[in-house]
Amino acid sequence: MDNNFEGYEMSSIGIGIVGGGYMGKAHSVAFSAVAGVFQTSLRPRLVTICAQTEANAELYRKAYGFEKGTADWKDLIDDPAVEAIVIASPQHTHHDIAVAALNAGKPVLCEKPLGVSLKQSRSMVAAAEAADVANMVGFNYIRTPASQQIRKFLTEGRIGTLTWFRGEMTEDFFADPMIGGWRAQGIANGTMGDLAPHMINAAHAMMGPIKSLSASVETVHKVRDGLEVTNDDQAQMMCYFENGAQGHMFFSRVATGRKMGYAYEIHGTKGHIRFDQEDQNALWLYTSEGPESERGFRKILTGPAHPDYLPFCQGPGHGTGYQDQIIIEAKDFLTAISENRAIWPSFAEGMEVNRIVTAALDSSAKKTWVNVRDY
C-alpha cells in the first residue's frame, strides 16, 4: 500500500471510547490518526468519551478532541451518533459494557483480557455471535510488523516443522514489595490475568491451539504496603500444542530489569526464529542452509517490505513504536466493520486465552497436567 489517497473516499463513523486513562488515550490518538495513515474506507469521528466522573470526562474530551463527555457508559451506548465502541476501562467492567453495546448492535473493540473469567468471556462471545457485528480484542503486541512477518515465515514453512516454543511476558513494575494498591487484589489483576494473556495470544498466533499444560503460579511478595496480596506475581507453564510441538511460557510482574519482556523463540526442523519486544523493530532468523561454517542468526530490521510498516514510514530500519501498534489495531477494527468480516483476534480468541488462564490456575492448584478442552 502506498500513500496516494487521490480519489479515495471515506465514510464517517462515530466512535465512543469507555475509559480515558492509559489505554483510553492510546485509542483516542489511534482513531484520530488511523485514516491519515491507512487508506481505511471509514474515517473515525471522536463522538463521546466516558470516564468515572463528569470532571474527568470533560478533561479527556478537551484533551483528546471528542464532541461529548459522560460519566455514564450507558449514555454512550445509547447515543445514536456513537456507531462503534472501544472499551478501555478496567477489566471488571468489560463484560457488562460489551454485552450492552453488542445487544444494541454496535461493533466492539475490547481491551484484553476479554472478561475476568471464562464464564464472562463465554457470555461475551455469545452476545457477539447473536449481534453478528465486528468484535475484536486488544492484543496489540502481536501486530508489530516483525511479529506479523514471523507469522508469515511460519505459514510459509521457512523453518520447517515446528517443534518448540518458548515465550515470556515479563515486567518489573511490581518488583518493589512496597508497591501495592488495586493491582495486588483480585485474581483477575494478577500476572495470570493481566500479563499472561498477551503471551498466550502470541503462542496461539505462532503455534496454534494448546492441547494440555502443567502450570505453577506463585505469589512472591505476600504482603504489600501492609496489606495481604490476593493474586499472583509470577507463573510458569509447560505445554503441548495440538500440532505436537512442546512449549514453555513464563510470566512475571517482578522480573527485575525487564520493562517490556514480550519475547519468544520458535524452533523448527529447518531453522529458528526469535523476537524481543524491547527491540521491536528487529527479528532474528536462523536457517539450516549452506555450509555449516557460514550459518548463523541474521538480524532483520523491519521496513517497507514487512506488513503494515510502509504506511508509517518509507525508510527501512527507522522503526515503528507502541502507539503505531494501536493504530494498526484501529485499522483492523475499521476494516472488520466496513467489510463485515471477522478479523483475528476476535472475541472468540479472547475466550480461548481465558480458557488457558483458567486451566493454568487449576493445574497449579491441583499440581498436575490438565487437558485444555476440559475447561
Tell me whether residue 1 is in a domain: no
3-state SS of the chain is CCCCCCCCCCEEEEEEEECCCHHHHHHHHHHHHHHHHCCCCEEEEEEEEECCCHHHHHHHHHHHCCCEEECCHHHHHHCCCCCEEEECCCHHHHHHHHHHHHHCCCCEEEECCCCCCHHHHHHHHHHHHHHCCCEEEECCHHHCHHHHHHHHHHHCCCCCCEEEEEEEEECCCCCCCCCCCHHHCCHHHCHHHHCHHHHHHHHHHHHCCEEEEEEEEECCCCEECCEECCCCCEEEEEEEECCCCEEEEEEECCCCCCCCEEEEEEEECCEEEEEEHHHCCEEEEEECCCCHHHCCCEEEECCCCCCCCCCCCCCCCCCCCHHHHHHHHHHHHHHHHHCCCCCCCCHHHHHHHHHHHHHHHHHHHHCCCEEHHHC
Q: How confident is the model at residue 162, as a pLDDT?
A: 98
- In this predicted model, which residue has the larger pLDDT, 1 or 158? 158
| pLDDT > 80? residue 269 | yes
What value does the mean pLDDT take over residues 167-171? 98
For residues 329 and 337, what is the distance between their CA atoms, to the nearest angstrom? Answer: 13
Tell me whether residue 166 is in a domain: yes
Statement to judge: residues 120 and 214 lie in one domain: no
pLDDT above 90: percentage of residues in the chain: 97
Task: Please report which confidence band the pLDDT of residue 5 belongs to, taking 50, 70 and 90 as the band edges.
Answer: very low
Statement to judge: residues 52 and 160 lie in one domain: no
Tell me whether residue 236 is in a domain: yes
Asked which of 114, 141, 168 is the last residue of a domain, the reply is 141
Q: How confident is the model at residue 164, as a pLDDT?
A: 98
Statement to judge: residues 122 and 196 lie in one domain: no
Task: Please report which confidence band the pLDDT of residue 331 belongs to, taking 50, 70 and 90 as the band edges.
Answer: very high
What value does the mean pLDDT take over residues 348-355? 98
What value does the mean pLDDT take over residues 331-356? 97
What value does the mean pLDDT take over residues 173-182? 96
Statement to judge: residues 168 and 257 lie in one domain: yes
What mean pLDDT, rounded, does the chain reach?
96
Question: Contact, 103 vs 333, CB < 8 A?
Answer: no
The domain that holds 194 is classified in CATH as 3.30.360.10
Statement to judge: residues 147 and 133 lie in one domain: no
Q: 165: which residues sit within 8 A by CB, 6+ positions away?
A: 203, 206, 207, 241, 245, 246, 247, 248, 264, 265, 266, 267
Q: Which domain holds residue 194?
A: 142-370
30-74 residue pLDDT tens: 999 999 999 999 999 999 999 999 999 999 999 999 999 999 999
| pLDDT > 60? residue 3 | no
Task: Please report which confidence band the pLDDT of residue 1 belongs to, taking 50, 70 and 90 as the band edges.
Answer: very low
**Residue written as cell 498436575?**
368
Statement to judge: residues 72 and 151 lie in one domain: no
The domain that holds 98 is classified in CATH as 3.40.50.720
Statement to judge: residues 148 and 131 lie in one domain: no
Statement to judge: residues 213 and 266 lie in one domain: yes
122-164 residue pLDDT tens: 999 999 999 999 999 999 999 999 999 999 999 999 999 999 9
10-25 residue pLDDT tens: 799 999 999 999 999 9
Tell me whether residue 245 is in a domain: yes
Q: Which residues pair with 284 in a beta bridge?
A: 274, 299
Tell me whether residue 159 is in a domain: yes
Tell me whether residue 186 is in a domain: yes
> Domain count of the chain?
2
Tell me whether residue 274 is in a domain: yes
Asked which of 141, 173, 201 is the last residue of a domain, the reply is 141
202-155-266 Cα angle (round to 5)? 50
What value does the mean pLDDT take over residues 257-285? 98
Statement to judge: residues 126 and 151 lie in one domain: no
Tell me whether residue 375 is in a domain: no
Q: What is the pTM of this model?
A: 0.95
Statement to judge: residues 45 and 147 lie in one domain: no
| pLDDT > 90? residue 2 | no
Statement to judge: residues 209 and 168 lie in one domain: yes
Asked which of 141, 162, 178 is the last residue of a domain, the reply is 141
Statement to judge: residues 26 and 60 lie in one domain: yes
Task: Please report which confidence band the pLDDT of residue 9 belongs to, taking 50, 70 and 90 as the band edges.
Answer: low
Bridge-based pairing of strands 42-50 and 11-18 is: parallel
Task: Please report which confidence band the pLDDT of residue 114 belongs to, taking 50, 70 and 90 as the band edges.
Answer: very high
